[in-house]
Amino acid sequence: VLLLLLAITSILLSFPSVQTKLGKSVTNYLQKDFDVDINVEKVDLSFLGNVQLKNVLIKNHYSDTLIYVNNLTTSIFSYKNLINNKMEFGQISFDNFVLNIKTYKGEKDDALTIFVDKFDDGKNYNQPSGFLLTATNLKLNEGYVEIVDENSPNDKTLFFKNISGDTKRFKIDGPNVSTVIKNLSFTENNGVNVTSFSSDFIYTKSFMKFKNTQIVTETSSVFADIDFLYNREDFSDFNNKVFIDSNVSKAIVSLVDLKKFYNEFGTDDVLYFTTNIKGNLNNFTTHNLQLKSDKEAIINGTLNFRNVFNLEYGFSMEGDLTNLTSDYNHLKGLLPDVLGKVLPSSFQKLGRFTISGYTYVTENLINANVTTKTDLGTTISDLELTDISNIDEASYIGHVKIIDFELGEIIGDSLVGKLSMEADIEGEGFTLENMNTSVRGDVSKHQYKNYTYSNITLNGVVKNKHFNGAMEVNDDNIKLNFNGLADFSSDVYTFDFKTIVDYCDLKTLNLFKRDSISNIKGDIDIKVNGNTFDDL
């Protein structure tokens, strides 16, 4: 008798008219109790098998498609709950579904938020709600999600396609959604293929949480906890108002993936880092960033970025660096179009360098109070640079201290050795050919022809390998006051100056070694050409 009843029931449920009626029953329940525009074309039941809701369509408040599911499959036991107005399911499968999250012009809330509001009974989010839908498992296949904001017509449409995977413990309680996402795969609008996305997800009207999140692509992987905090109206200006608190416990990110989001990146490196990111997308800070790369670059410190996603309002980066280690070629490869504009070409000669301190960078300005240790020596600088669109000709003002710097390597003169000095500088240009800089300071070490000069005071202008100004020298083997021009721009040097020489031992200075004694003393007003006393 039982088998006969089941057979008769199966036959009845296979009739299209019965399936359509059941579909209307589901539709009427949702429309009557929650005032939502939803339509289920038919319900297909198979003997002791699954229930399929065919062509499920939910419209938004403009009667446009909000959600469409070609096939929604669940078990017959779950469906029994459904016809008793208990939306508690076992496994549900969505095949070929679409979700359109659209914010219409002049509105603050998107269509999905307005739809979810219909299930809000005003109770506290952690209390029982008037609407409850649960599923032990939710399987997704070939899904598409699109997010559009008509109030930001210049923004790129955000979409996720080819969504497949499953979630567990899916729950909609009033306006709140929670689930455990397992191995979701999709392609996002920048062309990044996410092969596995897992997270413990919670959504409410005031926050979203992605705990224990893992994002894996073919070349990258990120492990993080991510929180989004907001007032509901903040979504109309997501980049500036939604607060993000993300703890990245482990990240392996290929520049191949980053370039798809920000075209200024190069492609030939992989970054390994941990950090805590706080702020909104147009004003966020990477706290305690610990980064290294396959190319042996290191970045440790705290960085703040502004207007990354709205460059028209002026990009800036502020950094408190404990260690930035790299070299010129790597940094240009990392951000070829951006850093290529703000790294002087003379940096190529520095080799590998390490920077620590404070820096502030915009499109037109750099403020830097940093210590830079390089293969050629150390500098401690407090500078402001402007007009940096062509960095080799940028203007600057500030204070600089140079310690044991291999000046001869920079200027290409084998007779020149190390330089140590401290000075106030103001001028423009970073190459000797286009430098025009006033210098006022003290030189504690200057090596020339294997002699180390000390106790030199400068006050003059360095321009195109010329020095024009005053100099006082109180070295043990040369004591003089100099006022005039020294021109090192050609192979044969030119001097035009007035000087009072109290004492000068040319032999000890390695300037004139033919005789055992070569001393000069007196007042001199002279114009000379030559590099040695033999070719004056």
Separation CA 356–CA 372 (nearest Å): 7
How sure is the predictor about 12, in pLDDT bands with cuts at 50, 70 and 90? very low
Residue 442 bridge partners (DSSP): 422, 457
Task: Name the H helices within 266-390.
Answer: 328-334, 339-342
Range in 152-161, 183-192, 238-247 the model is least confident about: 152-161
Range in 99-113, 310-324, 339-353 the model is least confident about: 339-353
Which one, of 283, 284, 262, lies nearest residue 275 by Cα?
284
Residue 222 bridge partners (DSSP): 215, 251
DSSP-derived letter for residue 175 is: T
Query: In the chain, helix, strand, coil percent, each to 5?
Result: 20, 55, 25
Mean per-residue pLDDT, 97-115: 84
Looking at the predicted structure, is the pLDDT value of residue 430 above 60?
A: yes
pLDDT of residue 31: 57
pLDDT of residue 224: 96
Q: What is the CA radius of gyration of the chain?
A: 36
| Residues contacting residue 54 through CB under 8 Å, at least 6 positions apart | 19, 23, 40, 41, 42, 43, 44, 70, 71
Mean per-residue pLDDT, 107-120: 76
Looking at the predicted structure, is the pLDDT value of residue 33 above 70?
A: no
Looking at the predicted structure, is the pLDDT value of residue 315 above 70?
A: yes
- Whole-angstrom CA distances from 355 to 299, 329, 501 are 9, 16, 41
> Average per-residue pLDDT in the chain?
82
| Residues contacting residue 5 through CB under 8 Å, at least 6 positions apart | none
Mean per-residue pLDDT, 362-386: 88
On whether the CB atoms of residues 466 and 429 are closer than 8 A, the answer is: no
- Whole-angstrom CA distances from 280 to 225, 309, 456, 495 are 16, 10, 52, 59
Helix axes 16-34, 76-83, angle to 10 degrees: 50
* Phi, psi angles (nearest 5°) of residue 20: -65, -40
What are 255-271's pLDDT values in tens digits?
888 888 777 677 788 99
Share of the chain above pLDDT 90, in %: 37
**Who has greater pLDDT, 514 or 342?**
514
The phi-psi region of residue 498 (left if phi > 0; otherwise alpha if psi is between -120 and 50; otherwise beta) is beta
Range in 144-148, 216-220, 339-343, 386-390 the model is least confident about: 339-343
Selection from 313-327, 437-451, 462-476 with the highest mean pLDDT: 437-451
Looking at the predicted structure, is the pLDDT value of residue 14 above 60?
A: no
On whether the CB atoms of residues 329 and 322 are closer than 8 A, the answer is: no
pLDDT of residue 181: 93
pLDDT of residue 186: 94
Looking at the predicted structure, is the pLDDT value of residue 362 above 50?
A: yes
Site of tokens 């140079």: 402
Please count the other Cβ atoms lying within 10 Å of the Cβ belonging to residue 522.
9
Alpha-carbon dihedral 410, 414, 418, 420, rounded to 10 degrees? -60
Residue 74 bridge partners (DSSP): 51
Range in 31-40, 224-233, 299-308, 409-418 the model is least confident about: 31-40
Looking at the predicted structure, is the pLDDT value of residue 325 above 60?
A: yes
Separation CA 397–CA 383 (nearest Å): 6
Looking at the predicted structure, is the pLDDT value of residue 335 above 90?
A: no
Looking at the predicted structure, is the pLDDT value of residue 131 above 70?
A: no
User: What's the token pair of residue 186?
Assistant: 């999709």
Task: Report the predicted TM-score, pTM, of the whole model to 2 decimal places.
Answer: 0.76
User: What's the token pair of residue 111?
Assistant: 């269509």
Separation CA 469–CA 473 (nearest Å): 13
HSE, CB side, 13 Å, CA atoms: give it for residue 144. 11
Range in 180-194, 295-309, 321-335, 522-536 the model is least confident about: 321-335
Range in 1-10, 34-43, 190-199, 467-476 the model is least confident about: 1-10
pLDDT of residue 13: 43
Please count the other Cβ atoms lying within 10 Å of the Cβ belonging to residue 60.
20
pLDDT of residue 209: 94
Site of tokens 């402007």: 386
What are 43-74's pLDDT values in tens digits?
666 544 567 777 888 888 888 888 888 887 87
Site of tokens 């108002």: 241
How sure is the predictor about 390, in pLDDT bands with cuts at 50, 70 and 90? confident
Which one, of 536, 442, 518, lies nearest residue 478 by Cα?
518
**Who has greater pLDDT, 387 or 520?**
520
Separation CA 520–CA 458 (nearest Å): 22
